[in-house]
Chain A
Amino acid sequence: MTTFIIRRVFSAAITLFLITLISFIVIQLPPGDVVSNWVRQQEASTGQPLPPETIENLRRTYGFDEPIIIQYFKWIDGFPRGDFGFSIEYSNAPVADILAQRTGLTVFLGVATLFISWGLAIPFGIFAATRKNSRWDYFLSTLSFIGISTPDFLIAVIYLFIAVFVLKTDYAGGLFSQEFKDAPWTWERLLDFAKHLPVPLAILGLGGMAGTFRIMRANLLDILDQQFIEAARAKGLRERIVIYKHATRIAVNPLISRVGMQLPLLISGTIIISIVLDLPTLGPPFIRALNRQDMFLAGTVLMILAIFLLIGNLIADIVLAWSDPRIQYE
């Protein structure tokens, strides 16, 4: 088991290195760079062209005149010190400062969302599968079909509408009130955070539910057709034990491997929801950085997503190996 984890961590580190390198290069592939974007903005606002020497100077100060590969190594050189570069888009603020709180909130939201969507989707899936072709099954399946085919951002707007106009909550987007937005963590801020949390959490959680529900229902139906389920019934076991101990236990395994994929998806996939709801996650700065070729910021977000993906998969593999004895560590 230990060697399994060590080996996985080691290969994850190599994967991570390659991901950062490739994403750093890919961001710079389109013509232009962050400086030319910035210059264009300046020229548009002042109405005068900047002298070429100033632009050259800018490039030199930021080190953009060097080959990409050198820039890359200079960038990752700072990682051990917690220096992930700076963002020109955010007035030269260090990337680490911009992302620190957002990363924490993103992980928190992602994990909480996962618990909510699983906590609802799995019981509903079991309920529907054990009542296959009943009215309830049709109702839930239709609902999930609608859920899965409606784009997230639309669901977010609909839910927001329901939350504000039907349920009369005073939620107006975001995770904090204006006065707490950039304040340090205090009891008051935590309380404010807790007050803001339910609506976005419900929107994110319900959004991911449909897919999980469908997988759970289909898996369980597959398992319930297996011979060992009939064999378990033939032993004289209660139906409840047959369903939970013998069938559900196996039907959740594919969901565990799915969680590895879902963790980064919850973050990148909710960019639009985050913009709609004004959530301080990694999403909004990421999309801004990509638009402006702000490569240190974009590269760091990509790297964080990759780390989530790798950690998520690592956790999924370990849990799966523990949950399914047929999986070998070696």
Chain B
Amino acid sequence: MDTVLEVRNLKTYFYIEQGVIRAVDGVSFSLQAGKTLGIVGESGCGKSVTSRTIMRLLSPTLARIVAGSIKYYPADGAPVELTQVDPSGDQIRDIRGNEIAMIFQEPMTSLNPVYTIGQQIMEAILLHQDVSKERARARAIDVLRLVGIPLPEQRVDQYPHEFSGGMRQRAMIAMALSCNPRILIADEPTTALDVTIEAQILELIQQIQHDNNMALIMITHDLNVIGEVADHVIVMYLGQVVESAPVDDIFENPKHPYTQGLLNSLPMIGRGDRLEPIIGSVPGPHERPRGCSFAPRCPHVMDRCRAEMPPSFVLGPASDVACWLYDETIEVSHDAN
């Protein structure tokens, strides 16, 4: 399969006055063309920082990539090690918006209020493609039509405040798609939307992904969204990947107690029994437990969990889990490969 992005043991730390925050602390995954990777976790687990590290959008004065690698494989040419590029240099700017595009959580604030939708889409097109203004405008109208905005010839000249939330997210998607990116990172794209709109937007993203053989990283805290779109899922907790598995395994046979907890706290139609919340709450960035970070909330906690951090145990061709409960199997850490 065509791998487009490979992240290995990525660590991004924030250096702030109060100390070091290990926002991303050992994240690995690989992404294939046409496939969807779901990143799921509660707020503060590092999923958004992961995406911004890939895009190199974090301020270098605050956040530092302390370890790991992010390899991007362009359609032609040598792979690019994204951790090594200058975050404000030409190389990353050629990739941003052009080969790796991103859509954000808040459609209400993701568009600049003083420029028209068309101006904002054309800006990306004119930046990355050598076309005339007229062609860029025509392309902007095309992508607006593609994402299902009615009367795109008129809408293109309207301002963001004239669009509803769902329409703005469509416009954001249009902007992200305007240069036919090979990877789309969607950071909670439907969290701020109504459920009916959510379904439409997810369907739209999937359809475009299918048409363009685009790789998708879907970041969300909502397992229903993951079930809808993902092929492979990584579950994050406090900056670490606790479980990585194909989507069916995650839902039918979750291995990590945290994944199990997330599923048990998920309301489902037709499910009669009471929801079981995960006890406790995510510890703050400075209260990280010594051993397994989930130990204080884990129903199966053992002495070993509090003392030692579990490595990743390989359970199948595409699944591994970081939990001492699976110690019988062969131990392989990601650093080895």
Q: Which residues of A contact B (CB under 8 A)?
A: 226-228, 230-239, 246, 249-250, 323-326
Contacts and interface: CB of A to CB of B under 8 A. Distances in A.
B113 interface: yes
A326 B96 CA distance: 29
Interface stretch (B99-107, B208-216, B296-304, B322-330): B99-107
A326 B88 contact: no
Interface stretch (B121-129, B148-156, B242-250, B311-319): B121-129
A228 B97 contact: no
Contact of B114 (A227, A232, A233, A250): A250
Contacts of B113: 228, 250, 324-326
Contacts of B98: 236
Given A231-B104, A325-B161, A236 B96 contact: yes
Contacts of B104: 227, 230-231, 234
B172 interface: yes
Nearest to B172: A231
B128 A236 contact: yes
Interface range on chain B (Cβ under 8 Å from partner): 20 to 34
Contacts of B105: 227
A326 B159 contact: yes
Contacts, number: 69
B93 A230 contact: no
B124 A236 contact: yes
B307 interface: no
B57 A237 contact: no
Nearest to A323: B114
Contacts of B159: 325-326
B247 to A, nearest CB: 26
Given A227-B106, A228-B109, A235 B114 contact: no
Contact of A234 (B102, B106, B111): B102
A250 to B, nearest CB: 6
B112 interface: yes
20 contacts: A227-B110, A228-B109, A228-B110, A228-B113, A230-B52, A230-B104, A231-B104, A231-B172, A231-B175, A233-B57, A233-B96, A234-B102, A234-B104, A236-B94, A237-B97, A250-B113, A250-B114, A324-B113, A325-B114, A325-B116
B82 to A, nearest CB: 14
Contacts of A250: 112-114
